[in-house]
Structure 1
Amino acid sequence: MKKPVSTPRLDQLYHRYLDTEESAAYIRGVSEHYLLTTLERLAGAGQHVSRRAAVLAIGFLGDYSHTPILGRALHDRDRAVRLIADNGIRNLWRRDGNQRQQEKLNVIVRLNDSQHHNEAIAAANELLEEAAWFAEVWNQRAIGHFATNRWEDAANDCHQTLELNAYHFGAAVGMGHCYLEMDDPFAALECFRRAVKLNPDLEDVRAQIDYLQRTLEGK
């Protein structure tokens, strides 16, 4: 008689989270039993449920340095893993620098979200003077520039974002839209292609690629 296969504790915690949606309990349970190094390994090598659980946990517990882990998870064969990674990696991008710098970034994000783009640009300028390596600050300034019709400035900031964070598919998409506004569809197409190489599930971007290819071939 075969011994029953036990469910890994991480999988149990994940199923409980799906039932309760209590993220704090999930984070606490994972933290008590797993090191981040173990979660990194499981994110790429576990069974599909364990990969989902590990990627979710890294999205909660990780910092900017874990971007490559979730960047690779965007290409996982399991769609749920990819969706969890997509959400988690965006959170990791904001967790660079120290706590004060992260708080300043969060202010910039809120300013952009509330359409106060010039204030967001000014705050980003100030933060970049002390933290020029903080990729997400460049991206947020790009958002402000784009919203105020400064297409070239926005494209330059998107480029700098990608120089600092090669996994930033959002900046690649943003740069593509900048080039469209500057009437350079060839450059825009390359940017959109770069974005879907980083995140294959960007269906809207794939549609944009198809449209641009048809348009350019018809010229």
Structure 2
Amino acid sequence: METHVTTPQVHTTHLAKSYRRYLQSANPCRFAHEIDEFYTAATLNALLSRGQVEQRRAAALALGMLGDRCSVEALGRAICDSDPGVRLVADDSFRAVMVRDAAPLHHQQLLRVMHLNDGAEYAAALSPAMILIDQAPMYAEAHHQLAICWHGLEDFSRAQQAYENCLWHCRFHYLAWQSLAKIRYLKGDFEKALQALDYCLAINPDLDTARMQRGQIRRRLRQSDV
């Protein structure tokens, strides 16, 4: 029996062709189906880390549709890719994977909490967020949303603990680093606030609000030294 061997070149050519069709058709279902049929998440993770620019963009897009927690680190690292297009797609995909990194029921509960937090209904979001964490303690985004609840309710000590819990489960959660910096700043710990912002910007160098935040703290430190 003749054995068919799939070479790396075939893999990357198929990925590029599917990606180009997606850019022309804007049909995410077709793209996801074509990629899911031909690639494992491990292969996409590898292409995201080591492929050419087009392959990295395609891999980042595919992982946003098909990836799971095993893709979080590859996507987190790609948010500071040398190519702006890869960075943009990897950021979107990273956040998508973080949100759905749980059972479907817990995913739906998280979306409810996020909706309440987006509407600044922090007190209403608090109880379902705490219940969700009890049910899914490894769910990093649930800890982030709980931190947002406490932050909005101005319970800064509990907010800090929740942000740190989020980062314990996912060190690439740059928004948690940014918010942790805000809490540390409010507590007067400027050096540790700057450290958190350095981590944040190392992950996502395009986050202008964090860069502005860091500049404000540095100016405050200079003024205090005068």
TM-score, scaled to structure 2? 0.88
> Aligned-residue CA RMSD in angstroms?
1.9
Q: Does 1:138 align with 2:143?
A: yes
Aligned partner letter, 2:93: G
* Correspondence for 1:113 among 115, 118, 126: 118
Q: Percent identity?
A: 30
Counterpart of 1:85? Answer: 90
Counterpart of 1:63? Answer: 68
CA contact (8 A) 2:79 2:86 kept: yes
Q: Distance in 1 between matches of 2:192 and 2:222?
A: 15
**Which consecutive unaligned segments of at least 5 residues does structure 1 have?**
none
Q: Does 1:14 align with 2:19?
A: yes
Q: Does 1:168 align with 2:168?
A: no
Counterpart of 1:182? Answer: 187
Q: Distance in 1 between matches of 2:17 and 2:105?
A: 36
Counterpart of 1:149? Answer: 154
* Correspondence for 1:213 among 198, 201, 218: 218
Q: CA deviation at 1:104?
A: 1.4
Identify the range of structure 1 (66-75 vs 6-15) with the bigger mean alpha-carbon deviation.
6-15
**Which consecutive unaligned segments of at least 5 residues does structure 2 have?**
1-8
CA contact (8 A) 1:135 1:165 kept: yes
Aligned partner letter, 2:33: R
Kindly report which structure 2 residues correspond to 1:9-48, keeping only aligned pairs within 5 A, or say none.
9-48=14-53
Q: Deviations over 1:145-195 (max 9, x none)?
A: 112222222111101111111111111011111223334333322211121
CA contact (8 A) 2:41 2:71 kept: no
Q: Distance in 2 between matches of 1:129 and 1:88?
A: 26
Q: Give the 4+ runs in structure 1 shifted more than 6 A.
A: none
Aligned partner letter, 1:56: L
Q: Deviations over 1:99-150 (max 9, x none)?
A: 2222211221122123221121110111222222221111001111112222
Counterpart of 2:4? Answer: none
Aligned partner letter, 1:176: A
SS of equivalent to 2:99: coil
Q: CA deviation at 1:66?
A: 1.1
User: Size of the alignment, in residue pairs?
Assistant: 215
Q: Distance in 1 between matches of 2:180 and 2:170?
A: 14
Aligned partner letter, 2:109: K
